Chain A
Amino acid sequence: EAEVAQSPRYKITEKSQAVAFWCDPISGHATLYWYRQILGQGPELLVQFQDESVVDDSQLPKDRFSAERLKGVDSTLKIQPAELGDSAMYLCASSQGPNNEQFFGPGTRLTVL
């Protein structure tokens, strides 16, 4: 069964360092989402792509976060510099289209020391 892949699964970094997370959506899925899930809370959308274009990044802290999906397939989320408050689970999801079921990857757990 096709799955959303994410790497790394775990990342520990020191504050002020740069980190990057990678997501490979299910083949053929045009819509890709990055969510942040703080411990004890539900996921919050950071950015949504339709193919290679950003359609919603209203909750993305653009001073330190960036996301790209250059060829409309896999995607990278970067944080530079990382802050203590960025410690969270970063979830990637994909769907065939914007009104279709979202399939989630296993997430990357980030710890900033």
Chain B
Amino acid sequence: GEDVEQSLFLSVREGDSSVINCTYTDSSSTYLYWYKQEPGAGLQLLTYIFSNMDMKQDQRLTVLLNKKDKHLSLRIADTQTGDSAIYFCAESTSSASKIIFGSGTRLSIRP
């Protein structure tokens, strides 16, 4: 079945870049997403990428997709304390809207 894997924790220094990695198993994935969840809150869609793209940049966020290796990454440039949150990688296929989420990566920022 579909599966999305990501590391549980990442700690970076304020001002550095954060890179959160994700792997997925469904080769028919069409949409790949990054969501952010702050404590006690729902999920916020940060960005998404279509499977026919290999890169998308949106201000401080850069998404890289290696479809051959089924690997997705999210780079946050100039990481700030407000970026502390859990980041979820997710995927869905074009034939269904069901989104499969990873377990989330908790990003913590060191001063």
A-side residues, CB < 8 A to B, are 4, 31, 40-45, 48, 56, 91, 93, 95, 98-99, 101-107, 109
Do B103 and A106 touch across chains, with their CB atoms under 8 A apart?
A: no
Residue of B nearest to A6 (CB): B42
Residue among B41, B97, B99, B101 with the highest chain A CB neighbour number at 10 A:
B97
Number of chain B residues whose Cβ lies closer than 8 Å to a Cβ of chain A: 19
Residue B111 at the A interface, CB < 8 A? no
Q: If A56-B98, A99-B97 touch, does A42 touch B90 (CB 8 Å cutoff)?
A: yes
Which residues of A lie under 8 Å from residue B94 when comparing CB positions? 99
Cα distance, A42 to B88, chains bound together (Å): 7
Please state if A42 and B98 are interface contacts (CB–CB under 8 Å): no
Interface string of B20-48 (1 = CB under 8 A from A): 00000000000000000000111111001
Q: Which residues of B contact A44 (CB under 8 A)?
A: 101
The 7 A-B residue pairs whose C-beta atoms are closest, nearest first, are: A42-B101, A104-B42, A98-B97, A104-B43, A106-B42, A41-B103, A105-B42
* 8 Å CB contact of A41 from B45, B90, B96, B104: B104
Please state if B98 and A102 are interface contacts (CB–CB under 8 Å). no
Closest to A105 in B: B42
Is B4 part of the contact surface with A, judged by Cβ < 8 Å? Answer: yes
> A31-B97, A42-B103, A44-B101 known; A106 and B90 CB under 8 Å?
no
User: Besides the contacts A40-B103, A104-B42, what 5 more A-B pairs have beta carbons closer than 8 Å?
Assistant: A42-B102, A43-B88, A104-B43, A104-B44, A107-B42
- Chain B residues contacting A104 (CB-CB under 8 Å) are 42-44
**Measured between alpha carbons, how far is A103 from B88 in the docked complex, in Å?**
15
Contacts of B48 in A (CB 8 A): 101
* A93, B35: Cα distance in complex, Å: 13
Q: What are 9 of the A-B contact pairs (CB < 8 Å)?
A: A41-B103, A41-B104, A42-B4, A42-B90, A42-B104, A43-B88, A101-B45, A102-B45, A107-B40
Q: Given A104-B43, A104-B44 in contact, is the A48-B98 Cβ separation under 8 Å? A: yes
Kindly state the separation between the CA atoms of A4 and B88 in the bound complex, as whole angstroms: 20
